[in-house]
Amino acid sequence: MLFAVVMSMLATSASTHAQTITVQCASQQAYVGEPVRVSVSIEDATAFEGPFIDAVDGLEITRLPGEQTSTRLEFINGRRSESRSVGIGYELIARRTGQFTIPAFTVTVGGKTLSTKPFLLNAVVSETGDLLIASITCEPSTMYVGQEGELNLEIAVKRYREEKLGITLDEGSLWSLIGRETSSWGAFGPALQKMLSENRRPRGESRIIGDTEYIVFTISKSFDPIAPGVPVVGDVRIRMDYPTKLARGNDLFFENRLSLAGSRPISVEATIAAVTVLSPPEGGRPAAWNGAVGSFTIEAIAKPVDVAVGDPITVTIRLTDESTTAGLAGLQAPVIADLPGFLENFRVPREAASGTIDGRSKVFTQSIRAASDSVRELPPISFVFFNPSSGGYETATTQPIAITVRPSAVAKLHSDEALGITTEPGENFTKVEGGLLANASTAECAEINTVNMQLIASTALLPLGIAALPFVIARVRRSREARELRTRVARQTFLQELSGIETPDPSVVERAFLHYISARTHSDRDGFTRKDAFDRLSECSVDASLLANCDDFLRQCERVRYAGGAVDIDAVRALVDLLEVATAKTKAAAA
């Protein structure tokens, strides 16, 4: 009974704590342009409004997202004590030198106002000097749109040596002082995150710059420029706590440990070294060039090479980059329908051939069909590319491939005149050897080679084909009606794809815009690209300025996907409104 009373007292008794607000600043010494963390703690307030703080001229005060809530339980002399704390983070960034008075942070709890005490913050210019250098280089340093290179972010940290202890920090210790969370990594962020997820870090190498030893950490990413000019890498600023003093001490297990006794925050914005991205020259550019940049060889294989008229022939084209710098991801196959000898003798699809990357090669496959049994070879296939080494356009060409094309079906129907047979009126022939057959059996027809099994089969299937004709016509009509409906509702579909999204993903906007152009221009192709959009709108005689604006917007989407940022959603809506009018006048958009 006594035990139950004691437990009841423990469960119901609790001491009350005063509601308070406190502030802690990481450092009262700040550097211009560098953030200083401030933590505001509200104790034992289940509900409150704020914190609030007045603006300060020359100082940026930003509340960080999220709150940290903790609850603490204590039992002292049989009494239960509970307290609750809410922590809220802020960043202070001085935009000029001088001493700032940070005003009180205030909260309202149950109609009562709680305030912190004001404190001082002294801001000075951070003299990074030669302690930290960040630069971005490109390999190769001069490249063309269509090539693939590598961007390297090099972070050079001056080697630190503690003279009193005779200790020089190794690369791992220096890397740990770089602020991975506080630094801005721009386009190099995904590459760094991939390293960290694999429990790796950039390898540091010792390098002498001037007369000073540095540890240089390198983060690399592939680079395939989509436009000439300086590469867009986003905001890349490296922050670190550079050591000013080391100390030795014993840890929990009485081991002699080295610790950071003093440091100073420094930061530097990465500079882009001389990197030049050019467009291949327009002068002397062949009409067959489709954007390939590099040095290529071409091979072609055709299977089978013994076919009947109309049978498919699979053509495999292998483009191999000898320069090792070509951007294979965007490499397109030659359009064989435009090459001499193909359109006249073969049925060739207009769709771009699909491609797969195999090492430094890209392999394309396409199916074509011979139009007549007079075809004797697969014509040479040529591929035009711009060679950066020579600075000119070059062409690689395959050898013709010999093929055998047989008639698709043969029925020998010899005339009497051809056989030299004459007949008199009234004569009744039941069978003529080698000529037209009257009462001959199927077996006899086969023996004298006048009717083959293909002819018999096609004759038997003819009634079925006639019976199925209405269904085929209905399906074609439904397909046509569906395509016309897709064209009419293209704008409505586009707006639905973007509805309810305040800040849409650039890839979502790009995909929706390409879907709209594809539907509006009656294109049924899968994998509709920016180039396809440009070609189809050109065929629809869209005004040149509107065409350029559409292409520029799609290029912007590609650029933003690569380097980060946002796209103007109102701009793309305006483009769609203009395209509605422009494409309504063309056959491609006619319903």
- The full DSSP string for 190-226 is HHHHHHHHTT--PPEEEEEETTEEEEEEEEEEEE--S
The closest alpha carbon to 30, from 22, 42, 41, 38, belongs to: 38
Contact by Cβ (8 Å): 344, 391: no
Residue whose C-alpha is closest to residue 313's, from 301, 322, 323, 324: 301
Assigned token pair, 544? 């040149």
Query: Kindly report the CA angle at 582 between 580 and 587, in degrees rounded to 5?
Result: 100
Contact 223, 149 (CB under 8 A): yes
Last residue of a domain, one of 246, 277, 308: 277
Residue 464 lies in a domain: no
Q: Is residue 568 part of a domain?
A: yes
- Cα 72 from Cα 86, distance rounded (Å): 12
Strand intervals (E) in 270-343? 271-272, 276-278, 296-303, 306-308, 312-321
Residue 113 parent element (H or E):
strand 112-115
For residue 145 the two structure tokens come to: 């749109």
Instruction: Give the model's pLDDT for residue 159.
Output: 92
Partners of 346 in the β-ladder: 370
> In whole angstroms, what is the distance from residue 61 CA to residue 63 CA?
7
CATH (domain of 306): 2.60.40.10
Cα 144 from Cα 224, distance rounded (Å): 9
Q: Which two tokens stand for residue 522?
A: 């009656």
Q: Which pairing describes strands 142-144 and 276-278: parallel, antiparallel, or unpaired?
A: parallel
Bridge-based pairing of strands 377-378 and 346-347 is unpaired
DSSP state of 450: S
Query: What crossing angle do the helices spanning 506-520 and 490-498 adopt, rounded to 10°?
Result: 170
* Angle between helix 490-498 and 453-488 (nearest 10): 60
Confidence at residue 1, expressed as pLDDT on a 0 to 100 scale: 44
> CB neighbours of 582 closer than 8 A, spacing ≥ 6?
540, 542, 543, 546
Bridge partners, 315 (sequence order): 302, 366
Residue pair 397/339 in contact by the 8 Å Cβ criterion = no
Which pLDDT score, from 0 to 100, does residue 467 have? 63
Residue 271 lies in a domain: yes
Residue type, 91: E
26 with 117, same domain? yes
Asked if 398 and 299 sit in the same domain, the reply is yes
Query: Contact at 8 Å (CB) between 515 and 486?
Result: no
Q: Are residues 116 and 53 in the same domain?
A: yes
CA distances from 309 to 125, 346, 365, 452 (A): 81, 10, 20, 17
The model's pLDDT over 498-509, given as tens digits with 9 standing for 90+, comes to 776 656 678 888
Helix (H) or strand (E) holding 98: strand 98-102
465 located within any domain: no
E strands in 305-437: 306-308, 312-321, 346-347, 354-358, 361-370, 377-378, 382-387, 392-397, 401-402, 404-406
Do 161 and 273 lie in one domain? The reply is: yes
Residues 258 and 329 in one domain: no
Residue identified by tokens 């509702």 is 489
User: How many CB atoms neighbour CB 174 within 10 A?
Assistant: 21
| Residues 533, 341: Cα–Cα separation, whole Å | 28
CA distances from 458 to 387, 462, 466 (A): 54, 6, 12
Q: Which pLDDT does position 526 carry in this prediction?
A: 56
Please check whether residue 23 lies inside any domain of the structure: yes
pLDDT of residue 507: 81
156, 170, 173, 241 from 260: Cα distances, Å: 20, 14, 10, 10
Q: Which helix (H) or strand (E) holds 473?
A: helix 453-488
144 shares a domain with 267: yes
**Same domain, yes or no: 333 and 399:** yes
- Note down the domain range covering 212: 132-277
pLDDT at 251: 54
Q: Within a domain: residue 97? A: yes
d(CA 292, CA 280): 10
Residue where a domain stops, chosen among 277, 308, 324: 277
Is the same domain home to 28 and 100? yes
- Give me 70's structure tokens: 């903790």
Residues 424 and 374 in one domain: no
Whether 514 is covered by a domain: the verdict is yes
Co-location of 446 and 506 in the same domain: no
Q: Of 277, 299, 321, which one is at a domain's C-terminal end?
A: 277
Name the maximum alpha-carbon separation found in the chain.
138
CATH number at residue 7: 2.60.40
Residue 151 to residue 137: CA distance in whole angstroms: 6
Q: Is 498 helix (H, G, I), strand (E, B) or coil?
A: helix
Q: What is the pTM (predicted TM-score) of this model?
A: 0.53
Strands 79-94 and 132-139: unpaired
Q: For the chain, which residues score pLDDT lower than 50?
A: 1-16, 254, 410-451, 476, 587-591
Burial letters 446-473, b for 16+ CB under 10 A, else e: eebebbeeeeeeeeeeeeeeeeeeeeee
- Within 13 Å of residue 370, how many CA atoms lie on the same side as its CB? 25
| Residue 26 Cα distances to 29, 40, 249, 350, angstroms | 9, 11, 23, 65
Within this chain, do residues 533 and 564 fall inside the same structural domain, yes or no?
yes
Say if residue 7 is in the same domain as residue 114: yes
| Number of domains, the chain | 5
Residue 470 lies in a domain: no
